[in-house]
């Protein structure tokens, strides 16, 4: 899954090597410079992902794919996409070359600007790469920004990040982002559905997260999530399930100060671990991970 070929990624990023970077790390997307092959790569990624997601993604996400016209052929032009998104919830999508520093990232989110990687993943890494490209950021993250409740949550996360920087709690807050915004599941009337962008932009994990008997699936609990380590180079061993976007927004609306005080005294939880307070939805076999460990040893 992590067949990393950094040179292929570097080649895709090369187009922005001489781009002027603004103080907030944004650049000009230079949309006309994408090649026909890159537009075709987007179309193929989009088609196969939507096929996998049409029965697995949450309804808010699927609806926004259409309302934002993300199904139109070719790599999206972020300006045009923002012009469709902004009247809905106030968000704009701004192009960047790489991950941006935490203070810059939080400032963007707090002001309803979503920074999106402008390069597209190389052909050799269609299913997964560790750094965010335009497919992950736009196909994975942007649709739910059209949902007013989710939009509130992401903006509040940005503001919470600005506060967390003053008290050395970013690792805890990052776990909230990881286990919801990137790898979250949500309960719906039709059963569990996907909403995390890290899952949406990987067809293999879209199936694994919902259908494999290997991972644990546990009801979301803010403090529990903030204590839980995560792995960045494989499927998740535990997925957390929110009841709804409203419930997520409400859980995260409180002042995190007392929570951070408790977390500073609490031990971390390993990604494979279940704890007595967990509301376990599925107890995973972890067989997929054990098999990989055997192969590696
Ligand atoms: Fe992401």
Domains and CATH numbers, the chain: 21-296 (1.10.800.10)
pLDDT at 16: 82
* Residue 20 CA, ligand 1 centroid: distance in Å: 24
* 100 Cα distance to chain centroid: 15
Checking if the pLDDT of 64 tops 80, the result is yes
Give the tens place of pLDDT for each residue, 252-284. 988 899 999 999 999 999 999 999 999 999 999
For 153-206, the DSSP string reads: HHHHHHHHHHHHGGGT-HHHHHHHHIIIIIT-EEEETTEEEE--HHHHT-HHHH
* Residue 164 CA, ligand 1 centroid: distance in Å: 19
Rounded mean pLDDT, 34-61: 97
Give the tens place of pLDDT for each residue, 102-111. 999 999 999 9
Q: In this structure, what are the phi and psi dihedrals at residue 281, rounded to the nearest 5 degrees?
A: -90, -45
- Going by pLDDT thresholds of 50, 70 and 90, the confidence category of residue 32 is very high
Average per-residue pLDDT for the chain: 94
Coil/strand/helix, residue 114? strand
Beta-strand ranges (E) seen in the chain are 92-96, 113-117, 185-188, 191-194, 216-219, 238-242, 280-282
Checking if the pLDDT of 146 tops 70, the result is yes
Give the tens place of pLDDT for each residue, 225-240. 999 999 998 999 999 9
Q: How many CB atoms lie within 10 A of CB 156?
A: 15
- What are the b/e assignments for 30-61, b being 16+ CB within 10 Å? eeeebeeebeebbeebbeebbebbeebbbebb
Q: How far apart are CA 106 and CA 101, in angstroms?
A: 9
Q: How are beta strands 216-219 and 191-194 bridged, if at all?
A: unpaired
* Residue 250 CA, ligand 1 centroid: distance in Å: 22
* Residue 297 CA, ligand 1 centroid: distance in Å: 31
* Residue 232 CA, ligand 1 centroid: distance in Å: 11
Checking if the pLDDT of 3 tops 60, the result is no
């Amino acid at each position: 899954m992590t067949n990393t070929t950094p040179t292929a990624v570097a080649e895709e990023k090369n187009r922005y090597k001489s781009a002027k970077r603004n103080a907030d790390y944004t650049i000009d997307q230079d949309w006309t410079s994408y090649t026909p092959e890159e537009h075709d790569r987007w179309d193929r990624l989009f088609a196969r992902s939507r096929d996998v997601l049409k029965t697995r993604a949450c309804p808010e996400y699927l609806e926004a794919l259409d309302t934002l016209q993300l199904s139109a052929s070719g790599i999206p032009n972020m300006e045009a996409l923002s012009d469709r998104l902004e009247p809905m919830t106030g968000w704009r999508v701004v192009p960047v070359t790489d991950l941006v520093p935490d203070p810059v990232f939080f400032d963007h989110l707090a002001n309803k600007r979503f920074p999106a990687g402008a390069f597209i993943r190389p052909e050799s890494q269609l299913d997964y790469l560790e750094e965010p490209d335009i497919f992950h950021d736009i196909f994975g993250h942007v649709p739910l920004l059209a949902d007013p409740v989710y939009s509130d949550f992401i903006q509040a996360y940005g503001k919470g990040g600005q506060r967390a920087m003053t008290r050395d709690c970013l690792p805890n807050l990052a776990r909230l982002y990881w286990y919801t915004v990137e790898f979250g599941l949500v309960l719906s009337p039709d059963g569990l559905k996907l909403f995390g962008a890290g899952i949406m932009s990987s067809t293999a994990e879209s199936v694994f997260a919902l259908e494999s008997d290997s991972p644990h699936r546990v009801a979301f609990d803010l403090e529990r999530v903030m204590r839980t380590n995560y792995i960045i180079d494989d499927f998740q061993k535990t997925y957390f399930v929110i009841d709804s976007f409203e419930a997520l927004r409400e859980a995260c609306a409180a002042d995190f100060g007392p929570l951070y005080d408790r977390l500073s005294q609490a031990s971390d939880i390993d990604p494979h671990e279940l704890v007595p307070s967990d509301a376990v939805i599925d107890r995973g076999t972890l067989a997929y991970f054990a098999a990989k460990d055997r192969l590696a040893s």
